[in-house]
Amino acid sequence: MKKVLTGNQAVAYGAMLSDVKVVAAYPITPQTTIIETLADMQAEGIGDFDYIRVESEHSALSVCIGASMGGVRAFTATSGQGLFLMHEMLHYATGARVPVVLANVNRAPALPWNIWSDQTDSISQRDTGCIQLYCEGNQEVLDTTIMAFKIAETVRLPAMVILDAFWLSHTSEPVDIPEKEAVQKFLPSFDPGDMWLDPENPRTFGSVSMSDVYMEFRWLIQRDMERAKGVISETHTEFGNLFGRNYHQVEGYLTDDAEVVIVCSGTVASTGRVAVEVLRSEGKKAGMLKVKTLRPFPSDEVKNALRDKEKVAVIDRNFSPGAQGVWAQEIRSALYELADSERPLLYGYIAGLGGRDINIGTIRDIYERTSQSETPEDADIWVGVKYV
């Protein structure tokens, strides 16, 4: 059934259709309407889950971890400062190997206060061991929420569905809502195997591990995060076969003969498609590469997509102070493995922080600047900043 939904409603539908059993959350703009929608669904009996109100985001994720250890599917949602408060428990969720799914609506970090879109909040969770999936439209948001449970449960790691503040969270557009029966076929009930708090079979989880075994636990996380790359691709394929909508960790658009490939994530990829069409209509050889996953990072796909290209321009709606945009860093690392003769020049651009618009003109400027330059500058270029 097609309906006009906001991105936040799409998340709520995704979680409800995934048959979550526990939702624990604390409100924060611009996420709040996700958990409001879920609260309505629970109150109206559309969703059969416990809705647990907590006093902080730290507690919200803690409750989800407990629920997941209890053997049921658990979900939460947050944004910006709320995600920062969850940070400790996100590491914990990975260590506990609980497949909790959370939605994060990208919101800029304070100070100064800003509720608008900026990836720095989710990017800051890069090293927690949480899978990160960035979405470009409300349909992808709904579909990815469902797929996130499957991916997380297959590799037993937490997963984060990420959507831009307002550009998706509060934007209404048509979304195809799958039938619950079809979703259940794709995503059967959560099976925790023998790793859950079973009163009939008492065991200890999360005890101290000394230096002689700690590293082995961490290695298992790395092994399964690497495995997640294949699992994400398989999940995308299976979802595509069942529902007719295809997603990829890395997706090229008009890249075949492109002289400049612009790398985008989130909603910038959506606008990026239109921007490269406009540039093409002017006879300019522009292409767009959308990267959906930050963790695990699909380095092989990125490498293959960009091999032998002349120039790559990476748009980062985030930055790591003292270093550079994080997508640019990741892509630069992936390209290092290429031979000198097949490695493109890489240009990093910081744009759209705190919700500043990244429009077709912005992308055109990035294309022109990259196209006209012979060698990249030492540091990322901050697009449109008044001091520069």
Partner 1 sequence: MIEIRFHGRGGQGAVVASKLLAHAVFLDGKYCQSFPAFGVERRGAPVTAFLRVDDRPVRVRTQIYAPDHIVILDPLLVDQVPLTKGLKPGGTVILNSSKSAVEFKSFFKGFRIATVPAAEIAIRYHLGSPRFPIVNTAILGAVARALGIVPIESLVKAIKIGVPAHAEDNAEAAREAYRAVNDE
Q: How far is the CB of 136 from partner 1 (least distance, A)?
A: 8
Does 12 engage in binding with partner 1 (CB under 8 A)? no
124 binds partner 1 (CB under 8 A): no
State which residue, 344 or 355, has the beta carbon closest to partner 1: 355
Q: Please give the residues from 354 up to 373 whose contact with partner 1 meets the rule CB under 8 A.
A: 355, 357-360
Count the site residues for partner 1 by CB under 8 A: 26
Structure tokens at 281: 């209509």
**280-319: which residues touch partner 1 (CB under 8 A)?**
none
Tokens of 384: 């449109």
3-state DSSP of 150-203? HHHHHHCCCEEEEEECCCCCCCEEEEECCCHHHHHHHCCCCCCCCCCCCCCCCC
Q: Write out the H or E segment, with its range, that includes residue 214.
A: helix 211-243
Q: Of 174 and 188, which has the nearer Cβ to partner 1?
A: 174
Tokens of 383: 């697009």
Task: Indicate the residue among 115 and 315 with the shorter CB distance to partner 1.
Answer: 115
Q: Which is nearer to partner 1, 58 or 273 (CB)?
A: 273
Residues near 352 by Cβ (< 8 Å), separated by ≥ 6? 117, 118, 268, 315, 317, 358, 362, 383
Residues 132-151: x where in contact with partner 1 by CB under 8 A, - otherwise, as a string = ----xx--------------
User: Which of residues 4 and 379 has its CB atom nearest to partner 1 in the complex?
Assistant: 4
Q: What is the dihedral of CA 205, 206, 207, 212, to 10 degrees?
A: 110
246 binds partner 1 (CB under 8 A): no
User: What 3-state class would DSSP assign to 353?
Assistant: helix
Q: Name 40's Cβ contacts closer than 8 Å, sequence gap at least 6.
A: none
Among 167, 190, 247, 327, contact with partner 1 (rule: CB under 8 A)? 167
Q: Given the complex with partner 1, which of 310 and 357 has the nearer CB atom?
A: 357
Q: Which of 140, 153 has the CB closer to partner 1?
A: 140
Q: How far is the CB of 173 from partner 1 (least distance, A)?
A: 5
Give one DSSP letter per residue of 262-307, joined into a string: EEE-THHHHHHHHHHHHHHHTT--EEEEEE-EEES--HHHHHHHHT
Q: How far is residue 236's CA from residue 175's CA, in Å, rounded to a whole number?
A: 18
Cβ burial of 379 (10 Å; 0-12, 13-18, 19+) is: exposed
Q: Smallest gap, in angstroms, from Cβ of residue 47 to partner 1?
A: 21
81 binds partner 1 (CB under 8 A): no
Indicate whether 342 belongs to the interface with partner 1 (CB under 8 A).
Answer: no
DSSP structure class, residue 126: G
Q: How far is the CB of 214 from partner 1 (least distance, A)?
A: 44
The least distance separating partner 1 from the CB of residue 114, rounded to whole angstroms, comes to 10
Which residue in 13, 49, 149, 166 binds partner 1 (CB under 8 A)? 166
Would you say 279 and 302 are in contact if contact means Cβ atoms under 8 Å apart? no
Instruction: Give the range of 165-173, 218-226, 232-240, 279-287 binding partner 1 by CB under 8 A.
Output: 165-173
Sequence-distant (≥ 6) Cβ neighbours of residue 386 within 8 angstroms: none
Q: Residues 33, 37, 271, 329: which binds partner 1 (CB under 8 A)? A: 271
The site map against partner 1 for 173-202 (x = CB under 8 A) is xx----------------------------
Tokens of 317: 């709606």
Contact residues for partner 1, defined by CB under 8 A: 2, 4, 115-116, 136-137, 164-168, 170-174, 267, 270-271, 273-274, 355, 357-360
